[in-house]
Amino acid sequence: MSSLATWLHYLEQIHPKTIELGLDRVTRVADKLSVLKPAPFVFTVAGTNGKGTTCRALEMILLEAGFKVGVYSSPHLIRYTERVRINNQECPDVGHVNAFEQIETARHDISLTYFEYSTLAALLLFKQANLDVVILEVGLGGRLDATNIVDADVAVITSIALDHTDYLGNTRESIGREKAGIFKPQCIAVVGEPDIPHTIYDVAHQKHVQLHCCQPNQDYDWQYQQDNHHSWQFRSQSSHYDNLPMVKIPLANAATALAALSYSRLAISEKSIKNGLMKTELTGRFQIIRHDPMVIIDVAHNPHAATYLQKQLQILRTSQPNTKKLRLVIGMLKDKDIASTVQILSADAWYCATLYGERGTDASEIAKHIHIRGDQTIQRFTSVEHAFKQAIHDADKNDIIVVCGSFHTVSDVLNLVANE
């Protein structure tokens, strides 16, 4: 039996393309493994941003309600095993290795990508665990993503913005159509996007889907509202909840999760909802990992996510008038909208880091887009580690250091802090 690290290295090498969308190959192997129905009830969650936090809110509430729950998410930040959680516990290495061995035997000459192997392994692990509910986070798009081999009982779309345009199209309408590909005939669909592209309505109509939209969309049937700094409320056709506790994730994502549960018809008490929301947080989402100086990590990597991050930073700086400087460590992938993302963010000092690999962007490319806006304090580094160490060296105890731009950037800093 090979180690998990050996298997992952093997999976990175065996398919000619890192990303190859399409369901034919992976469906054939899934059918051989009998994993197309991994649990009696399945949520599938797509969207440009907010997928991970929406899945986390669903998971914590369902666990509080007594369900046995499996979650598949990607990418991971530190350990590959983060991708599969069963009853809020990462599946150990040996479980993944066993699953990979079964997939290798079943696939014969069918070539699979790293993500397709990962998805099949998750489905195998879920089926073996005899779960009540499985939550699948879509990797890219929806229609042709490997997770879409499973028919969702409730399909969720969190948000629609421009990202992965090489694969999904360069308009919100084309991206919306791809995300809506997770809708299955007669399924329940919940959309948290406040400005739904018409293509989502089109797909829902074609597939006779029960579509549930949020305010202010046309024919909306659920809504939420923040009452104060401590509570919020939620309304749907079947559920009314007041005095809900504030969450450590974007409120829109918590509300989308609550809407998905509301229309799922699963039996969940108000107490379970409130307890689950209080426990909902996720690594790398506006997470404070150090004080004096304060260090915040956030995986924001596109304009939509950067807008949320910038808003949260403004709120934080207002609440902490003693803050001196905001220092921003950023590394991004070349297939992201770097120019628009950095235009939204503001900082007193920028620490641009090169990300390596075929998708990584050189620090000078990021710095070029910041220079255009006139910001003067810009430094370039050959790695995230060097950028972060310099930011720490430069910082006063009342400064704020923000690490963002990519899962890879945040992962590098988490590994660095963990090994100190």
Quote the mean pLDDT of the chain.
93
- pLDDT tens across 254-277, in order? 999 999 999 998 999 999 999 999
- 287, 401 contact by CB (below 8 A): no
- pLDDT tens across 169-181, in order? 889 999 999 999 9
Please report, for residues 15, 141, 150, 154, 352, the alpha-carbon distance to residue 144 in angstroms, rounded to integers and kept in the order given: 17, 7, 12, 18, 34
Dist. CA 370–CA 121, nearest whole Å: 42
Closest CA to 52 of 73, 83, 68: 73
Dist. CA 39–CA 62, nearest whole Å: 14
Q: What percent of the chain has pLDDT over 70?
A: 97
Q: Which residue's structure tokens are 């066993």? A: 98
Closest CA to 182 of 216, 211, 224, 215: 211
Least trusted range by pLDDT, from 7-16, 83-92, 371-380 = 371-380
Peptide bond before 303: cis, by omega within 30 degrees of 0?
A: no
Helix (H, G, I), strand (E, B) or coil at 127: helix
For the chain, residues classed under CATH 3.40.1190.10 are 4-278
Residue 376 has pLDDT above 70, yes or no: no
Dist. CA 144–CA 158, nearest whole Å: 18
DSSP bridge partners of 380 = 352
- pLDDT tens across 196-208, in order? 999 999 999 999 9
Phi-psi region of 164 (alpha: psi -120 to 50; beta: other; left: phi over 0): left
CATH class of 287-418: alpha beta
Q: Which two tokens stand for residue 328?
A: 């921003």
Residue 35 has pLDDT above 90, yes or no: yes
Kindly list the strands in the beta sheet with 133-137, ordered across the sheet, starting from the edge strand earlier in the chain. Answer: 89-90, 84-86, 69-72, 133-137, 41-46, 154-157, 188-191, 210-213
Closest CA to 200 of 144, 241, 143: 143
Dist. CA 238–CA 267, nearest whole Å: 12
Q: What percent of the chain has pLDDT over 90?
A: 85
For the chain, residues classed under CATH 3.90.190.20 are 287-418
Dist. CA 189–CA 171, nearest whole Å: 22
What fold does the segment set 4-278 form as a domain? UDP-N-acetylmuramoyl-L-alanine:D-glutamate ligase (3.40.1190)
Residue 420 has pLDDT above 80, yes or no: no
Closest CA to 135 of 45, 265, 30, 254: 45
Task: Please report which confidence band the pLDDT of residue 418 belongs to, taking 50, 70 and 90 as the band edges.
Answer: confident
- 47, 159 contact by CB (below 8 A): yes
CA dihedral 400, 75, 252, 296 (to 10 degrees): -10
Dist. CA 277–CA 100, nearest whole Å: 34
pTM exceeds 0.75: yes
Name the DSSP letter for residue 214: B
- pLDDT tens across 287-341, in order? 999 999 999 999 999 999 999 999 999 999 888 888 889 999 999 999 899 999 9
H or E stretch at 272: helix 270-278
Least trusted range by pLDDT, from 217-231, 330-344, 365-379 = 365-379
- pLDDT tens across 77-109, in order? 999 999 999 999 999 999 999 999 999 999 998
